[in-house]
Every structure is written in C-alpha cells, then in structure tokens.
Chain A
Amino acid sequence: MLKLSDVRKVFNAGKPNECIAVDGVSLSIEPGKITAFTGPSGSGKTTLLTLAGCMARPTSGRIWLDGREITSLPERFLTEIRRETFGFIFQQFNLIKGLTTLENVMLPAYPTGKKFSALRKRALELLDLFGLAQKATAQVEWLSGGEAQRAATARALINDPKVIIADEPTAHLDSHLSNEFMEIVQGLNRQGKTVILASHDPIVHESDAVTTIVMMRDGKVERVT
C-alpha cells in the first residue's frame, strides 16, 4: 500500500543546525495491517510518520501510495490525499481549543462539501461509538486526557479514511487508557483499516495487535519484525 524508497529528510539543510531526521529509509507498509515505528527519542519515528502521511515532503527519495508516486505531487493533491486516505491522531491530540468536541470531530469533513446535517449525524455516531456522546457540546479544553484521545480518534475517522496514522498516541495516557486505545486500534483494524503508529511505549509495540514493528535508530531502519 505504502512504499518508501531511499527516503531522506534533512531539516535546516546547509545550516550549522542541520539535522538528518530520516536517512535513506526504504520500507513497505502492507494494507490492513498494524505497523508500529519504534525506537528511542530522536530516532526519526515521527518524521517518518509525517512523510508517510503526506504531511511533509522528503528531501530525497520517493514514496508510492497504492502504486502512485506521490512525492512530486503538488500541494493541492497531497491535501486531497491527506483528507481522503489518512486519518491523523497527533501526540498532543491537536484539537482546536474553543470549539466543541462535535465541531472538532466534524472539522476534517468541512472542505468535502458534504451536507452539514449529514456530517453532524456521522460525527455524533462516532462520538457515541467512543462513549463521548455526552461530551458532544463540551469545549475540548474541558475533556480529560482519555476523552481528548478518543475525540481525536473520532476526528481521524470522520472522512472514513483507509489509513489511520497515530503519533505517540499513548504518550499522555495511563496504562489502562493506553490498553483501551489499543483495543480501539484493533477494532479499527478489524474493520479493514491500515494503522501506522509511532511509539516507544511497550504497551503499543508489544501489543498482540501490532503485526509489523519497524525499529529505528539515528534516522535509519534498524530492523523490521
């Protein structure tokens, strides 16, 4: 489904603070599986995740999505791919403060031009699925860590994407909530969603649900198991 070939990402190239975040990574990510990028802090997991999710362009190398080379696509097409193919769950959740939980969940679907009432219905269904129906009209800053995590997951699913991308999804959760999140991930995977996670939390990469573990160090893939 996703194929990366000799992908390299350099930040601040040519400057004294140049940083090679991803260094010549070649990788295939199978559809319908749960893949976890793991490794120590600064190993390049998050950067690789953003490259795979079309949130950043590689400095060099190529990325294919379903056989289509996407590295050289204009920004407009990358946005479309982000919207239709990927659902993102960020480390800091990145819910927009001041908006309600319901509005946050609906947000990725606004540019699709779907009817507001239909969007609202789908968002409410998702919130209900994640046990947040009661919090639909609450502003997101009032949600607990676990609730914010589930709201972010609901938002990632609003456009019914094929791939769910989650960056350190359990970083702000206790063990119980982390396990709960992994159950949700497993459920999504059972529905046919491909899941890509970046995490150094053992609860994630030691979970039975994870099918492929990509171990990273210093921007390179150390091993794939």
Chain B
Amino acid sequence: MNRWIEKQKNIVDFTLSSLLRRKGKNIALWLVYTLIVFVLASVMFFTHALKREAAIVLQDAPEIVVQRVVAGRHEMMPLNYLEKLSGIKGVTGAKPRLWGYYFYSSAKANYTVMAPEGFGHKEGNVMIGAGVARRHMINKGDTMWFNAADGTALKFTIAAMLPTESELLSSDLILVTATDFRRLFGIPDGYATDLALTVRNPRELSTIAAKITSLLPDTRPITREEILRTYDAVFSWRQGIMLAVLFGALLAFVILAWDKASGLSAEEKKEIGILKAIGWETSDVIVVKFWEGAVVSLSAFAAGVLLAYVHVFFSSAVLFEPVLKGWSVLYPKFRLTPFVSAYQVTTLFFLTVIPYTAATIIPSWRAATVDPDAQVR
C-alpha cells in the first residue's frame, strides 16, 4: 500500500512538472476551456434563473384577468362590471386592479405603477423596486417627483423598498395608493385597469371565460394559462437565441476536444516512448495524462462556473443583455436571484470535464501501447 501511495505521489510530481514544462500551451488551453465553460454556464444559469423568476411571477397571478376592449385596444374597465362577473357560477371573487406604465423622462426609464390592495402607507407615499432605486440613486425617506396627467407635479416620499425576492417582478415597480394612482394617471373613480377573478375549479376556466365573453362582449378574459403561454413564448424565443450561443460554445468545445483527441505532438509521443522504454507501464502513462487533463479541465471548469455565476447574478448577464432583455419586457436593469441547482452543474460537468479528460487519455493510450522503440528511435 505504501509503495502504491509513493508511486502515485511520484507520478503526480511528474505530472505537475509536465504541466509547468508546457506552461504556454497549458495556459492557452486553460483560457479557452474557461471561456467555453463560462459561456455554457452563463447560458444555463441565465435561462434557469429566468424561468424560475417567471414561475414566481405566475405563482400569484389571478386565474382570470378581464380587460375591456374598445376597437381592439385595451380600455378602462367600469367597476359596475364587477357585479355581473361575480354572479357567474364558479367565480369565487372579483377584484379591480389599478396598474399602468409611467415613462420617467429624466431617467429615460419606463416603470410599472400599481395600486395594490392593502398598500399600508398613506397618500403621498410610495414603495419602489431595487431597479428604480438604483436608477435614481434614492433610498427610503427620499422623494420622487412625477408629472400627473393634468400637468401638475406630484411629490412622493419613498416609504419603503420592495423586497428583492424576485427582481424580475419588482425591479421596475412603484406602488402607490389608489387615490394617488388615479390622480397621477387621471383615471376617474368607478374605473379600473382590469379585473382579476378567482375561480373555484381551475378545470372550469375555459367555460367561465366563454361565459364572460357572452355576458360582456366588450371584454377579453385572459386565463393564467394564456399568460403562461405568453411568458413561454417570450422565454422560448430567448432560449432559442441562447441555444444558438450554446451551440456555438459546444462546437468550440468539440473542436478543442477533437484537437486533443486527434493526436499528440511529436514531442509528446517521443516522451511517452521514452517513459515506456525506461520502464513506465502503459497505465502509469495514462495516469499522468489523466491528471494532466483533470488539472486543466477541473480548474478551468471551476473558474468558468464561478465567472458565469458572477456574470449572471452580479453583473446582470451584461454580455447577453443586448440580445436577451427586450426593452418592454425586462426594463429597467434587474438582477436575477441567484439560483443554481446541482443538476445544472452536474450536466455541465458531464458535458465538459468528462469528454475532455477522455479526449486527453485516448491518444496517450494509443501512443503508449505502441512498442517504445518505434517512438524513441
């Protein structure tokens, strides 16, 4: 056992000196490998985190949202529609919602403004998301000025910051009281942006939606499933682009691995021949090459994954930003909540480290099984 341990120590010692001998080549290899893992991991982390954020958004979404439509455009919803909708069998509740978008010209940012039920702060107070706070460099206790629909300037005090569980949900959000909302956008009492319905049995959603259309022909019911499909379409489109990036990175990796697998340099072959000639077994040579591959691939894998984590969750995937974040969908800048599963990391590991290490071993094994004299002469 001691001999075996000593042998492994000696072999590892030789491996390390081998790596250092080909410093330039190995550093270049490491950099390319790290870059590829970085791109692959970034794509993976980004899409998974985005999907998770979407799931959080949808978790609290109402089963049905009813909007009023005039000439194909979304119109304000009269509150007297509430009674008619509440009367539909299977509907357990109906609530008006007040929300809209406010373009803050000085910040060149478009914010979502909502007046939630039970806001908990007095008129003249607002709660803002982290994205808004970052954009204006403001915090609790500071003030924000808005231009109301009638041209007057409205002053709001930041009463609190929104929790950052999901920045996708809250980054561009400003919460106000219903009165302030109506004053800001000039919406008269008796109207809401839309109505949110809760339904007892989700299987009846399509039946209830059909009833709404026949009862109130100037409205459009949107079920949660439809919202889900929209999100899916948005994310699938983005995932398609990510897939293109992923494909590119994978292709680069295949080329890298192929280059390693397709052969060793004449110098490396000769070295293997010398080692065999002076009494190294084929398995010893393979162990050296395995460790060489493992040191490069494992360290590059760790560095690539770490860099991707920082890139996606701390720098808001800044390199993907121009392609991935549409102006209207994810604006202003938001930070994804860090979410990495063991499954993702394992998948990435099996996609990169394993094939690379195999690609390192195979040509060495081929070289090591040839008679040493052929390579030493």
Residues of A within 8 A of B (CB): 46-47, 50, 55-57, 75-76, 79-80, 82-84, 88, 90, 94, 96-99, 103, 107-116, 119, 155, 159
Q: Residues 1-20 of chain B: 1 if any A CB is under 8 Å from the residue's CB, otherwise 0?
A: 01111110111011001000
Residues in chain A near residue B10, CB distance under 8 A? 109-111, 113, 116, 119
Residues in chain A near residue B3, CB distance under 8 A? 112-114
Contact call A112/B7, Cβ cutoff below 8 A: yes
Closest Cβ–Cβ distance, residue A5 to chain B (whole Å): 20
The range of chain B's interface size is: 20 to 34
Partner of B7, one of A56, A108, A113: A113
Residues in chain A near residue B270, CB distance under 8 A? 94
Contact call A55/B372, Cβ cutoff below 8 A: yes
Say what secondary structure dominates the interface of chain A.
helix
> B275 at interface (Cβ–Cβ under 8 A)?
yes
Partner of A110, one of B2, B21, B280: B280
Residues of B within 8 A of A (CB): 2-7, 9-11, 13-14, 17, 21-22, 267, 270-271, 274-282, 284, 369, 371-374, 376-377
Contact call B279/A55, Cβ cutoff below 8 A: no
Partner of B279, one of A108, A114, A115: A108
Closest Cβ–Cβ distance, residue B27 to chain A (whole Å): 15
Contact call A111/B376, Cβ cutoff below 8 A: no
Bound-complex Cα distance A84 to B280 (A): 11
Residues in chain A near residue B7, CB distance under 8 A? 110-113
Contact call A79/B279, Cβ cutoff below 8 A: yes
* Closest B residue by C-beta to A51: B373
Contact call B279/A155, Cβ cutoff below 8 A: no
Pairs across A and B, CB under 8 Å, 16 listed: A50-B371, A55-B373, A75-B369, A79-B279, A88-B278, A94-B270, A94-B277, A96-B271, A98-B22, A107-B14, A108-B278, A111-B7, A113-B6, A114-B6, A116-B6, A159-B279
Contact call B280/A79, Cβ cutoff below 8 A: yes
Closest Cβ–Cβ distance, residue B364 to chain A (whole Å): 15
Contact call A56/B374, Cβ cutoff below 8 A: yes
Partner of A83, one of B5, B279, B369: B279
Contact call B373/A82, Cβ cutoff below 8 A: no
* Closest B residue by C-beta to A94: B274
Partner of B277, one of A82, A98, A159: A82
Contact call A103/B278, Cβ cutoff below 8 A: no
Closest Cβ–Cβ distance, residue B232 to chain A (whole Å): 56
**For the complex of A and B, 5 pairs with smallest distance between CB atoms:** A83-B279, A113-B3, A98-B21, A113-B7, A110-B10
Closest Cβ–Cβ distance, residue B374 to chain A (whole Å): 7
Residues in chain B near residue A75, CB distance under 8 A? 282, 369
Contact call B6/A115, Cβ cutoff below 8 A: yes
